[in-house]
A and B are shown apart, each in its own frame.
Chain A
Amino acid sequence: MRIVCPFCGERELGEFTYLGDAKPQRPAPVAGEDAVYEYVYLRDNIAGSMSEHWYHGGGCRAWLKVTRNTLTHEISAVAPAAGAGAAKVGA
């Protein structure tokens, strides 16, 4: 598996670290315990196309949003994640 970083180009997997499913959103502080439990622990664990967070620690050190098929390891899209990385390209 190789990931095409929007800042660095195509790099080997060993340069990246995986965070996990990009879908869960941190709940508001007032949302209550159940919402926090869901956010921290429950996962869709999709068999198919999944949007996930990867960190390019061995390169530009930006967070990326990668769309990858968990059945085939095929990557269909890579974009800067919201935040510092995204700011660099004005996304």
Chain B
Amino acid sequence: MKYSIFSLARAALSGHKNWQRTWRDASPKGRYDVVIIGGGGHGLATAWFLASEFGIRNVAVLEKGWIGSGNAGRNTTIIRSNYGLPGNTGFYELSMRLWERMEQDLNYNAMVSQRGVINLYHSDAQRDAYARRGNTMRINGIDAELLDLAAVKKMMPFLNFDNARFPVQGGLLQRRGGTARHDAVVWGYAHAASELGVDIIQNCEVTGFTRDANGKVTGVETSRGRIGAGKVGMAVAGSTSRVAAMAGLRLPIESHVLQAFVSEAIKPLLPNVMTFGAGHFYVSQSDKGGLVFGGDIDGYNSYAQRGNLPVMEDVCEGGMALIPMIGRVRLLRQWGGIMDMSMDGTPIIDKSPVEGLYLNAGWCYGGFKATPGSGLVFAHLLARDESHQEAARFRLDRFQRGAMIDEKGQGAQPNLH
């Protein structure tokens, strides 16, 4: 179905009781040209780009739970393209441009809100680093503005400007950054992909791979039977190591938990997305009024989908240091998601060493903003068997070649970045 002012009016006149299901809940066929494992934002976006951009429509997305039950539905919804290293800069801007036209492309309201992302700085050295990053962005055609203290005070008068230890000195602002409604992104891609013939199959867990005599992957074993495939793409976020192990692969990835927090709803306070440069704290306000915030990963391997208290305390301390008044707001909800932490903090989009199996992995805590870009470049790889030019540095062998992309400059350890 197509959404328009008329479909909205029609639905309103019938008391909003006749909205149709937006995508088909398909059952598996025997074989597909491409099987995507994982019905998160990345898997569904890949399927949509395969169908819409590359004309490959005999595609299935297999999801062990329900679509969006993974990190696609657990993140803090921040989108931005303020990266400084070659590889990242171009890729995240490609993704940002796709966010800007996503709703038209998908005919779905994903509530993309370009309210701005500001990273505050608190020292001369940090200002210089942000100035450099902003310049890198602008050289690459990405918007960036370095704000001084007066400009930040005008924009966010409620910050703690009297903090002797971490005085706010200014910030790097990307006005085109912001947030998007994470569930709507999943549903939008599912809606649009399904319209083009893609089968979205829920409650279908991949439990193994079928291989031919040469070791090439020929399909998958699932909780709903065997499904043949010309090619298999993995987009399983925090489960990458476990699924890859079924094909005998060991990867430069660890699974870690990241927590998120939401406060009770308050009147509009935050004009944008804001990060505290002296600690690790980022916050935005949802359209319902809740403050949505987070900080560091818990710092040790975990598949438990729940966090621990020290990080919660640390995040709340960061929030209090920056916006003292949030100490009066009650915390409503907290949860954790399992993320694929790559060893340099950067994704891996590549053919795997096993023929017929393709990797889309290692998105760490920043993969939501990558959703449309990831879908496009992964579809490109699956369709053409070569990397998209904006993903050419995200190869698996970069660790062996010494060509890591360590945006934070912290070294080969997931709990450092």
A and B assemble together:
yes
Taking Cβ atoms with an 8 Å cutoff, the residues of A that contact B are 1, 12-14, 17-18, 20-21, 33-34, 37-38, 40-47, 50, 52, 68, 70-73
A12 contacts across to B, CB distance below 8 A = 310
What is the minimal beta-carbon distance from A67 to any residue of chain B, in angstroms? Answer: 13
A42–B250 contact, CB under 8 A?
Answer: yes
B399 contacts across to A, CB distance below 8 A = 37, 40-41
A50–B400 contact, CB under 8 A?
Answer: no
A45–B343 contact, CB under 8 A?
Answer: no
Closest residue on chain B to residue A44 by CB atoms: B250
Which of B251, B255, B413 touches A70 (beta carbons < 8 Å)? B255
Q: Is B412 an interface residue (CB 8 A)?
A: yes
What is the minimal beta-carbon distance from B57 to any residue of chain A, in angstroms? Answer: 34
Most buried by B among A21, A34, A37, A50: A37
- Extra pairs beyond A20-B413, A40-B343, A45-B255 (19, CB < 8 Å): A18-B415, A20-B254, A20-B301, A40-B412, A41-B343, A42-B250, A43-B241, A45-B241, A45-B242, A45-B251, A45-B253, A45-B301, A46-B301, A47-B303, A68-B300, A71-B303, A73-B302, A73-B304, A73-B308
* A to B CB contacts below 8 Å, 20 in the list: A1-B308, A12-B310, A13-B309, A17-B299, A18-B299, A38-B250, A40-B343, A41-B252, A41-B343, A42-B251, A43-B254, A44-B250, A45-B254, A47-B303, A50-B301, A68-B300, A70-B255, A70-B303, A71-B303, A73-B308
What is the minimal beta-carbon distance from A56 to any residue of chain B, in angstroms? Answer: 14
What is the minimal beta-carbon distance from B216 to any residue of chain A, in angstroms? Answer: 23
- Whole-angstrom CA separation of A17 from B343 in the bound complex: 18
B304 contacts across to A, CB distance below 8 A = 70-73
Taking Cβ atoms with an 8 Å cutoff, the residues of B that contact A are 241-242, 250-255, 299-304, 308-310, 313, 343, 399-400, 412-413, 415
- Whole-angstrom CA separation of A45 from B413 in the bound complex: 13
A43 contacts across to B, CB distance below 8 A = 241, 250-254
What is the minimal beta-carbon distance from A69 to any residue of chain B, in angstroms? Answer: 9
B412–A14 contact, CB under 8 A?
Answer: no
B251 contacts across to A, CB distance below 8 A = 42-43, 45
What is the minimal beta-carbon distance from B374 to any residue of chain A, in angstroms? Answer: 21
B299 contacts across to A, CB distance below 8 A = 17-18
What is the minimal beta-carbon distance from B27 to any residue of chain A, in angstroms? Answer: 29
- Whole-angstrom CA separation of A21 from B300 in the bound complex: 9
A38 contacts across to B, CB distance below 8 A = 250
Which of B300, B310, B343 touches A52 (beta carbons < 8 Å)? B300
